[in-house]
């Protein structure tokens, strides 16, 4: 599931290299919007869909938010709830090691991964990583 995120984010990296004249926050906003328009929704695996990516600027560097929907049976949801720490660790490794996230890390951007239930729409879990978490 998370390996495929790297391939999707690579296209975001290409967009990062294209723009030189825009301010960083404007560029991040545009690239996230364009990524969403061209790549979302993107089925990551049998249960996980990347619905959108949004960049929200602020004085501390901004926040890159990725929204996922999960199609889970009640058994799968219960199993997932028992593995929230492992999923947190995987997402943090992605933030720390993903080449497409390099520019965001250098800018001090926070990363948020929000997982919702595809059937009822309620939030299952949210992971947030500030600059202090991934340095």
Residue range of the domain that includes 25: 2-134
Q: What is the DSSP string of the chain?
A: -HHHHHHHHHHHHHHHHH--SS-HHHHHHHHHHHHHHHH-SEE-SSSEEEEEEEEE--TTS-EEEEEEEE---HHHHHHHHTTHHHHHHHHHHHHHH-GGGHHHHHTT-EEEEEEEETTT--EEEEEEE-HHHH-
Q: Above 70 in pLDDT, residue 8?
A: no
CATH value at residue 52 = 3.30.300.250
Q: What is the pLDDT at residue 20? A: 47
Question: What is the tens place of the pLDDT at every residue in 13-66?
Answer: 555 554 444 699 999 999 999 999 999 999 999 999 999 999 999 988 999 999
Residue-wise pLDDT for 76-88, tens only, equals 999 999 999 999 9
Count of structural domains, the chain: 1
What's the whole-model pTM score? Answer: 0.81
What is the rounded average pLDDT for all residues in the chain?
89
């Amino acid at each position: 599931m998370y390996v495929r995120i790297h391939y999707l984010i690579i296209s975001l990296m290409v967009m990062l290299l294209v723009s030189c004249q825009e301010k960083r926050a404007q560029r991040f906003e545009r690239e996230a919007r364009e990524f969403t328009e061209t790549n979302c929704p993107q089925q990551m695996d049998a249960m996980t869909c990347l619905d959108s990516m949004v960049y929200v600027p602020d004085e501390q560097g901004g926040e890159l938010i990725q929204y996922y929907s999960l199609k889970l049976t009640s058994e799968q949801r219960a199993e997932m709830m028992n593995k929230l720490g492992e999923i947190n660790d995987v997402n943090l490794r992605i933030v720390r090691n993903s080449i497409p996230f390099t520019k965001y890390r250098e800018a001090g951007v926070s990363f948020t991964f929000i997982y919702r239930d595809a059937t009822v729409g309620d939030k299952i879990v949210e992971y947030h990583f500030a600059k202090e978490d991934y340095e």
